[in-house]
């Protein structure tokens, strides 16, 4: 709908993908809600609605009825700063360490006691009412959620285990029922631990966001919260402080660590007129910055939002796993019924109900995606969800734009060829002086080359830009013309060689007489050959260059890089080429600059935008945004996708095998209920251990 609005609300208490699914269903049932995405990693719901206003109290009640919580606005306000997050993380680590010790000790006692036959001898002396009290005290939160869900026609992962605990009580196995509940609670802690580890990369990003800014107002500096900032405010940043806004430097010079945005470890020098980004850090020097974007509108804010929402872009693998979870519990119930019918063994039936772990299936994909996407974002690679990771994993065609993508995007002077009556410095000086006030990209290349040779540019007395011809100017009383060499103007042999090599030839005349030629060209990024080789090593055999340049120029470049090419293309031609590949069944990745190539990027199965930092169009439109102009991020994207899908498949395979073994052992009476309860907690930790490898991001 065109008038659809969006609201975000925090949700507490979610530990696994099944929890997120229940919350989404609850919110989607509220009147006025069109759709909702519930993000486990970000612990929030993104709600879309078309009514004039949506009452948050209705959302809060629906979430509470589902067994979770939407905190009020003033709750947790003091926990948003970085120090509070650090304290919270420390407490979480301590609690989880204690959990690990307790879990290990109890598991050891139960397993050894069961094997040695000592467990029953000890537990039979515990009065039933003590076991019942422990059962009710420990299991109340679980029983409450199960009953609440049952009244609404839903089945939870804990439903079967609750039935198993009740069945154990009916069979007179009070202590067994209490131990089952104990391991149910330990399983909950394991799921919380798993989810919290997956959120770690996102929390690390969020902790980089400044909360306050030093503002210059009425000649005085004051520190204010970001909410109090306005556009055009002048922000003062001292060495070591994080820049709180996106903006333009109006005074000062500094060396800035931009790794929070681009992932690039090498600092960059900035001065007046340079663009700077929130969450980056001046290491040397102070800056005064004109505010242009604040908070979630900054590049860093967009990165955080994209990482949060990446979870909503589910892959086919995740959707299959979610559907499987829905069928899994009824199948387990059927196996338990069959066990009781054919064996008559109540304890074996209880063990079947207890050992089943459906949450592990639901966690297999999102935990890996959260870890991978969050870690990649910290390295300057923004991937917007699991479905794009899966598509990258299956891609077999890479289409590449030239200008601004394979090349730097700005012409550079390759060589100056003077005539016999002049010299290189004179030719370059007069050309750059004549172009001093020109905004043409070639003019910028000439001025850069003059600066590199420490030439002092003259101020032109007259200046005229002639479309299709070049520049006419008067410099030191001389009439200077700078323009492209025509087809009928042949220069020295060296000029013809440079022209044949793809350079654009600029002729410089003084008072109507040519005094020299300047060869300019857009240079290929130095890391491109290595990156393309890495892409081929990853299984992308078909790489094609798409450009609007002339055939000769494209042919020379493609021959150098060892790729195919198509030249003299319009934007609609690039779209048609993408469609041609897709109609033949290929999975197409298109790499472009994110602005001129936006239509082709959108048409491709995965659009990848180069140098997207600070570019709204690129960040919003691309499926994968490379936050710095580094071609090695392209093979990194494919590598991340392949690693992630390997981990996901490993998670699913491990969970399936583990549950099949557990159900089989339980059904045949080999795995008693107590050990079955202990066993059902382990798949989550296995998934965590496997997925945690993705937090250690590797470059290709």
H or E stretch including 284?
strand 281-284
Task: List, as one string, the DSSP characters of 531-566.
Answer: HHHHHHHTT--EEEEE-SS-HHHHHHHHHHHT-EEE
Q: Which residues pair with 246 in a beta bridge?
A: 293
225, two tokens: 């919260």
Q: Which residues pair with 48 in a beta bridge?
A: 6, 35
CA 596 to chain centre: 23
Residues with Cβ within 8 Å of 661's Cβ and at least 6 positions away in sequence, in order, are: none
293, two tokens: 């974007």
Residue tagged active-site, from 188, 401, 593, 630: 401
Residues with Cβ within 8 Å of 513's Cβ and at least 6 positions away in sequence, in order, are: none
Residues with Cβ within 8 Å of 234's Cβ and at least 6 positions away in sequence, in order, are: 215, 216, 217, 250, 288, 289, 290, 291
Cα angle: 102, vertex 105, 107; to 5 degrees: 105
Q: Which residues pair with 398 in a beta bridge?
A: 543, 589
- Rounded to whole angstroms, what are the CA distances from 236 to 164, 216, 295, 475? 63, 7, 17, 41
Alpha carbon distance 478, 490 (integer Å): 24
Q: How would you list the strands of the sheet with 624-626, edge to edge?
A: 381-383, 624-626, 606-609, 588-592, 397-401, 542-546, 564-566
Alpha carbon distance 9, 181 (integer Å): 32
Alpha carbon distance 509, 415 (integer Å): 17
Alpha carbon distance 678, 560 (integer Å): 61
Helix, strand or coil for residue 419? Answer: coil
Under a CB-based contact definition with an 8 Å cutoff, are residues 690 and 366 in contact?
Answer: no
Alpha carbon distance 637, 639 (integer Å): 5
Q: Where do runs of H (alpha helix) occur along 571-622?
A: 571-583, 598-603, 616-621
Q: Do you know the residue count of the chain?
A: 700
- Rounded to whole angstroms, what are the CA distances from 86 to 39, 73, 80, 200, 263? 22, 22, 10, 12, 22
Alpha carbon distance 62, 602 (integer Å): 37
Alpha carbon distance 690, 24 (integer Å): 27
**Is 401 annotated in the active site?**
yes
Q: How would you list the strands of the sheet with 5-10, edge to edge?
A: 5-10, 44-49, 33-39
Which of these, 170, 184, 183, 109, lies nearest to 347 by C-alpha position?
170
Under a CB-based contact definition with an 8 Å cutoff, are residues 370 and 697 in contact?
Answer: no
Helix, strand or coil for residue 487? Answer: coil
Residues with Cβ within 8 Å of 230's Cβ and at least 6 positions away in sequence, in order, are: 291
Active site residues: 401
């Amino acid at each position: 709908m065109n008038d659809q609005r969006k609201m975000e609300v925090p949700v507490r208490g979610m530990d696994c993908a099944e929890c997120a699914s229940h919350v989404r269903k609850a919110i989607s049932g509220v009147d006025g809600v069109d759709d909702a995405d519930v993000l486990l990693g970000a612990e929030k719901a993104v709600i879309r609605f078309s009514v004039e206003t949506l009452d948050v109290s209705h959302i809060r009640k629906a979430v509470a009825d589902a067994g979770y919580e939407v905190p009020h606005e003033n709750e947790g306000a003091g926990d948003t700063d970085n120090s509070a997050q650090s304290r919270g993380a420390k407490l979480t680590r301590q609690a989880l360490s204690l959990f690990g010790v307790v879990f290990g000790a109890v598991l050891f006692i139960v397993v050894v006691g069961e094997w040695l036959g000592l467990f029953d001898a000890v537990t039979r002396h515990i009065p039933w009412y003590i076991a019942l009290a422990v059962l009710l005290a420990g299991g109340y939160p679980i029983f409450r959620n199960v009953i609440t869900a049952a009244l609404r026609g839903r089945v939870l992962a804990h439903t079967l285990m609750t039935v198993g605990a009740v069945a154990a009580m009916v069979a007179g196995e009070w202590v067994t029922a209490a131990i089952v509940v104990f391991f149910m609670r330990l399983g909950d802690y394991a799921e919380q631990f798993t989810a919290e580890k997956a959120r770690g990369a996102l929390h690390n990003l969020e902790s980089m966001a400044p909360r306050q800014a030093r503002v210059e107002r009425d000649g005085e500096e004051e520190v204010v919260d970001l909410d109090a900032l306005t556009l055009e405010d002048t922000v003062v940043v001292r060495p070591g402080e994080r820049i709180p806004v996106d903006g333009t430097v109006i005074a000062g010079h500094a060396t800035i660590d931009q790794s929070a945005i681009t992932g690039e470890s090498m600092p960059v020098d900035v001065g007046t007129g340079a663009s700077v980004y929130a969450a980056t850090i001046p290491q040397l020097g102070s800056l005064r910055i004109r505010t242009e974007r604040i908070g979630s509108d900054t590049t860093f804010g967009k990165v955080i939002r994209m990482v949060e929402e990446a979870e909503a872009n589910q892959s086919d693998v995740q959707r299959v796993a979610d559907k499987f979870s829905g069928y899994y519990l009824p199948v387990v119930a059927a196996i338990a019924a069959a066990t009781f019918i054919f064996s008559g063994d109540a304890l074996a039936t209880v063990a079947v109900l207890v050992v089943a772990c459906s949450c592990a299936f639901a966690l297999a994909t999102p935990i890996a995606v959260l870890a991978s996407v969050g870690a990649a974002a910290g390295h300057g690679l923004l991937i917007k969800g699991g479905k794009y990771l899966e598509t990258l994993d299956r891609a077999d065609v890479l289409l590449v734009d030239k200008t601004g993508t394979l090349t730097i995007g700005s012409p550079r002077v390759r060589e100056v060829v003077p005539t016999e009556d002049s010299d290189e410095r004179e030719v370059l000086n007069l050309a750059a002086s004549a172009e001093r006030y020109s905004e043409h990209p070639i003019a910028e290349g000439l001025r850069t080359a003059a600066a590199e040779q420490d030439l002092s540019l003259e101020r032109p007395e007259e200046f005229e830009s002639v479309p299709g011809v070049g520049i006419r100017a008067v410099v030191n009383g001389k009439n200077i013309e700078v323009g492209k060499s025509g087809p009928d103007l042949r220069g020295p042999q060296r000029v013809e060689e440079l022209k044949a090599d793809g350079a654009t030839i600029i002729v410089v005349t003084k008072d109507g007489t040519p005094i020299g030629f300047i060869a300019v060209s857009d240079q290929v990024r130095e890391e491109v050959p290595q990156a393309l080789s890495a892409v081929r090593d990853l299984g992308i055999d078909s790489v094609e260059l798409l450009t609007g340049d002339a055939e000769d120029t494209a042919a020379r470049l493609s021959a150098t890089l060892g790729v195919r090419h198509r030249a003299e293309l319009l934007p609609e031609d690039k779209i048609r080429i993408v469609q041609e590949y897709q109609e033949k069944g290929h999975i197409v990745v298109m790499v472009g600059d994110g602005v001129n190539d936006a239509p082709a990027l959108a048409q491709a199965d995965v659009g990848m935008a180069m140098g997207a930092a600070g570019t709204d169009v690129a960040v919003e439109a691309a499926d994968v945004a490379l936050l710095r102009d580094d071609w090695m991020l392209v093979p990194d994207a494919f590598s991340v996708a392949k690693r992630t899908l390997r981990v996901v498949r490993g998670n699913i395979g491990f969970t399936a095998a583990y549950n099949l073994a557990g159900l089989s052992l339980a059904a045949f009476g080999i795995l008693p209920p107590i050990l079955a309860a202990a066993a059902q907690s382990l798949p989550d930790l296995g998934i965590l251990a496997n997925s945690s490898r993705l937090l250690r991001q590797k470059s290709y």
